[in-house]
């Protein structure tokens, strides 16, 4: 075995053969001859950490002759060692008779790499110009955990290289055997398992060419062994139940001073219904403070533990308190550290390292620890229970609607969550958590806990990065949530180098391969909102329609510009509803009955013009909802035909609600206007309909959710 972990070609070929792939017939220079005299062969010089033999002159095509090969290998050895590499051996390979496209590149590159995303298969153009060709047709990435060989093959056949192999590009003829391609792809999954068993973390096949039978043949292969990081120690199970509905709460760091952090947290907590004595304050020298019982220190929690301990103390004192809790072996299932300066850029004395080491040591030894949220824990909300743990006063941020929803909001930025709750006060959700710096409990842990509990609600996450060992855990949890039929929506901030640097500066988010990260999470079933505007619009849909079904989207409006803009937004991720001939004729007749024929074209998006009134909107909506569709109703409120008075809004709401109940399909209302029509909008919002201020926002939200498109 190589001292550096390098896996040379002969060793790699042995793995390929065991997986059922077909490398060239070969023999090391020190082995008995495996070739006939004069047979065309390729001589290769194997050296430690020599990944590209051609560049060192360590590849030569010649007829097989043992004496000539000995001379050739001596020359190669000199060149390899002169370049600073330890000589391993010479390798003799058969010259495979390959087929190539006369005008287009036709060699492949295949790589199996094990990292934060588990085993990932990379496939694209290979050969000497692989880097240049990758700019023309980027390689395909397949996280093996969430991709099948059939899925990979289908996507490869749509890639430029696959189209060249199959003769689907102009001027090309088929070179590949479809059945041989299928066998090749099916062998790559067991190859990854064999590589893992042998301790490899990387295996590269480059180039892969087609032989005369149309079979992919690896013409070279190398790899490396590496250290696979140990799985991260997850926080104790059950923390989410303690966070979501704590039966007993303690708060450390409260003073009688109005406006202080601890007192504001206490004031927000006071709305949460607890039995007398189940909200306690950790306060030395006090028995009662602000009407609540006090304990001198956390030792008092050992006999009567709490589900949640909120710590609003300076970083050094908070660290000592938590380590004392760990040392005594109990007292709180969850601890939320509100202070910063622990393990971040402001930590100049190693508080974070002390805390992490203390938790890790206890968990490694099998001793009790709490689940720790934060540092910089800004708070969490469970509106249906009136639970609010942030230090933001009600005068600055009104409590969210107590209309209990199914949506779960998780954010790696507390400020983003605050802005979101402020902008959308009517958002119906079940739980919202600002995760802070994730020293212990991370996004992936909350996703895993959500997948462990019964529930059908969607999960929306604002993400700035993943720490070591977190990405694959998150992907597995997302896969389980999707298997339960739950929508998982992500907005990934920090997609640029500058964005990653900014995220790391305030949350400690880790830089990563964003393309690979997204490929993995999309394969697991996550849906992505590319902008914050899309993310917020999608939340409006998920708040009102937690089980939003896919289906073509129909738009009915009384403003031509909305129908035009809607047409611009429709596409593969947002298919427009199409009228079947029968529905087309029914719409034509409807327009005649409502005396709109000649004014309104019987096509979608349906522009009813400002002449449309209540009856016209309802009749058209009923017709469109009878086919598979999500309905978006654009109500530009300036014409007299549309009654926007409280009575008119109430009547329209009753009719729309009846349509929704009969057809059981989502209906959204767009009121594109200024604040003077807020009351009109609020009528529909209070009733639980998704309401938007622009058609663009409504459709962008649907597009982020993949409504109408095939989704995981």
pLDDT at 629: 81
Q: Average the pLDDT over 213-222 and give the result.
A: 97
The mean-pLDDT minimum among 341-345, 358-362, 548-552, 669-673 falls in 548-552
Token pair for 427: 């958002």
What are the DSSP E strand ranges found in 523-666? 527-528, 553-557, 606-607, 630-634
pLDDT at 465: 93
Backbone angles phi, psi at 621, to 5 degrees: -65, -45
Q: Average the pLDDT over 180-189 and give the result.
A: 97
User: Angle 304-307-308 (CA atoms, 0-180°, nearest 5)?
Assistant: 115
In angstroms, the CA 224 to CA 298 distance is 50
Whether the Cβ atoms of residue 372 and residue 381 lie closer than 8 Å to each other: no
> What are the pLDDT digits (tens) for 104-161?
999 999 999 999 999 999 999 997 777 888 888 999 999 999 999 999 999 999 999 9
Of all residues in the chain, what percent carry a pLDDT higher than 70?
A: 96
DSSP structural state of residue 383: G
The mean-pLDDT minimum among 80-84, 343-347, 363-367 falls in 343-347
Pick from 494, 353, 383, 375: nearest CA to 434: 375
Token pair for 563: 């129908």
Residue of 551 and 685 predicted with greater confidence = 685
The band of 711, judged by pLDDT with boundaries at 50, 70 and 90, is: very low
In angstroms, the CA 566 to CA 556 distance is 10
Q: Which segments of 20-146 does DSSP mark as H helices, in order? A: 66-82, 130-136
pLDDT at 454: 81
Token pair for 61: 């095509």
Token pair for 146: 């969430």
Q: Average the pLDDT over 388-410 and give the result.
A: 92
- Please provide the average confidence, as pLDDT, over all residues in the chain: 92
- Give every CB contact of residue 454 below 8 A, 6+ residues apart in sequence: none
Q: Average the pLDDT over 497-518 and give the result.
A: 56
The band of 476, judged by pLDDT with boundaries at 50, 70 and 90, is: very high
| pLDDT tops 50 at residue 635 | yes
Could you count the other beta carbons within 10 Å of the beta carbon of residue 24?
19
In angstroms, the CA 677 to CA 686 distance is 14
Backbone angles phi, psi at 83, to 5 degrees: -85, 0
| pLDDT tops 90 at residue 302 | yes
The band of 712, judged by pLDDT with boundaries at 50, 70 and 90, is: very low
Backbone angles phi, psi at 501, to 5 degrees: -65, -40
What angle in degrees, to the nearest 10, is found between the helix axes of 471-483 and 443-452?
A: 30
| pLDDT tops 90 at residue 551 | no
Q: Average the pLDDT over 551-578 and give the result.
A: 92
Q: pTM here?
A: 0.91
The mean-pLDDT minimum among 397-406, 573-582, 589-598, 673-682 falls in 397-406
Could you count the other beta carbons within 10 Å of the beta carbon of residue 442?
24
Q: Average the pLDDT over 597-622 and give the result.
A: 93
> What are the pLDDT digits (tens) for 481-503?
999 999 999 999 976 554 444 44
pLDDT at 505: 39
> What are the pLDDT digits (tens) for 657-697?
999 999 999 999 999 999 999 999 999 999 999 999 999 99
| pLDDT tops 80 at residue 509 | no
Peptide bond preceding 177 in cis form (omega within 30 of 0):
no
Of all residues in the chain, what percent carry a pLDDT higher than 90?
A: 84
pLDDT at 308: 98
pLDDT at 2: 59
3-state secondary structure of 525: coil
pLDDT at 500: 45
């Amino acid at each position: 075995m190589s001292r550096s972990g390098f896996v040379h070609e002969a060793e790699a070929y042995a793995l390929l053969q065991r997986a059922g792939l077909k490398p060239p017939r070969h023999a090391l220079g020190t082995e008995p001859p495996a070739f006939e005299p004069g047979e065309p062969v390729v001589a290769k010089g194997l050296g430690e950490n020599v990944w590209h033999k051609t560049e060192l002159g360590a590849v030569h095509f010649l007829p097989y002759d043992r004496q000539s090969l000995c001379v050739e290998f001596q020359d190669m050895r000199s060149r390899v060692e002169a370049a600073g590499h330890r000589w391993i051996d010479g390798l003799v390979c058969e010259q495979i008779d390959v087929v190539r496209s006369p005008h287009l590149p036709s060699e492949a590159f295949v790589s199996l790499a094990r990292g934060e995303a588990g085993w990932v298969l990379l496939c694209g153009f290979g050969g000497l110009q692989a880097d240049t060709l990758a700019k023309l047709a980027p390689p395909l990435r397949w996280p093996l955990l969430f991709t099948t060989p059939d899925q990979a093959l289908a996507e490869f056949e749509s890639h430029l290289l696959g189209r060249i192999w199959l003769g689907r590009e102009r001027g090309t003829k088929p070179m590949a055997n479809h059945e041989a391609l299928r066998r090749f792809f099916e062998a790559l999954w067991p190859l990854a398992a064999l590589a893992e068993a042998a301790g490899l973390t990387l295996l590269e096949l480059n180039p892969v060419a087609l032989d005369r039978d149309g079979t992919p043949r690896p013409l070279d292969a190398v790899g490396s062994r590496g250290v696979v990081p140990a799985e991260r120690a997850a926080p104790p199970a059950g923390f989410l139940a303690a966070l979501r509905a704590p039966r007993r709460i303690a708060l450390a760091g409260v003073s009688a001073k109005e406006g202080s952090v601890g007192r504001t947290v206490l004031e927000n907590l006071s709305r949460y219904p607890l039995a007398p004595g189940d909200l306690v304050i950790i306060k030395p020298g006090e028995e009662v403070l602000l009407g609540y019982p006090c304990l001198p220190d956390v030792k008092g929690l050992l006999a009567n533990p709490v589900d949640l301990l909120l710590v609003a103390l300076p970083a050094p004192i908070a660290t000592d308190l938590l380590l004392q809790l760990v040392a005594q072996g109990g007292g709180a299932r969850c601890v939320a550290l509100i202070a910063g300066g622990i393990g971040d850029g402001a930590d100049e004395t190693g508080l974070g390292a002390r805390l992490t080491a203390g938790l890790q040591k206890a968990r490694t030894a099998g001793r009790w620890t709490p689940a720790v949220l934060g540092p910089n824990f800004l708070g969490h909300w469970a509106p249906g229970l009136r639970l609010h743990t942030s230090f933001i006063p009600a005068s600055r941020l009104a409590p969210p609607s107590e209309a209990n929803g199914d949506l779960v909001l998780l954010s790696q930025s507390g400020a983003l969550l605050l802005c979101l709750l402020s902008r959308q006060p009517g958002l119906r959700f079940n739980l919202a958590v600002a995760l802070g710096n994730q020293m212990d409990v991370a996004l992936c842990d909350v996703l895993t806990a959500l997948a462990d509990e019964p529930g059908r609600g969607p999960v929306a996450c604002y993400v700035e990065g993943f720490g070591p060992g977190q990405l694959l855990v998150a992907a597995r949890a997302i896969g389980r949530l999707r298997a339960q039929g739950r929508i998982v929506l992500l907005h990934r901030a920090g997609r640029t180098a500058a964005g990653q640097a900014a995220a790391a500066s305030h949350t400690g988010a880790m830089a990563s391969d964003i393309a690979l990260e997204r490929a993995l999470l999309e394969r697991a079933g996550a849906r992505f909102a590319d902008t914050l505007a899309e993310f917020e619009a999608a939340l409006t849909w998920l708040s009102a329609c937690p089980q939003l079904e896919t289906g073509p989207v129909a738009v009915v409006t009384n403003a031509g510009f909305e129908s035009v803009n809607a047409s611009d937004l429709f596409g593969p991720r947002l298919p427009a509803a199409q009228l079947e001939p029968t529905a087309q004729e029914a719409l034509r007749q409807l327009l005649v009955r409502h005396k709109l024929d000649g004014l309104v074209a019987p096509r979608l998006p349906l522009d009813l013009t400002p002449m449309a009134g209540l009856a016209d909107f309802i009749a058209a909506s009923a017709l469109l909802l009878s086919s598979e569709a999500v309905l978006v109703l654009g109500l530009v409120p300036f014409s007299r035909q549309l009654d926007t008075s409280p009575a008119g809004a109430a009547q329209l709401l009753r009719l729309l609600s009846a349509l929704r109940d009969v057809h059981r399909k989502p209906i959204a209302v767009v009121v594109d206007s200024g604040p003077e029509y807020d009351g009109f909008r609020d009528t529909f919002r209070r009733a639980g309909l998704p309401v938007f201020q622009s058609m663009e926002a409504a459709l962008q939200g649907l597009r982020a959710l993949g409504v109408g498109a095939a989704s995981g």
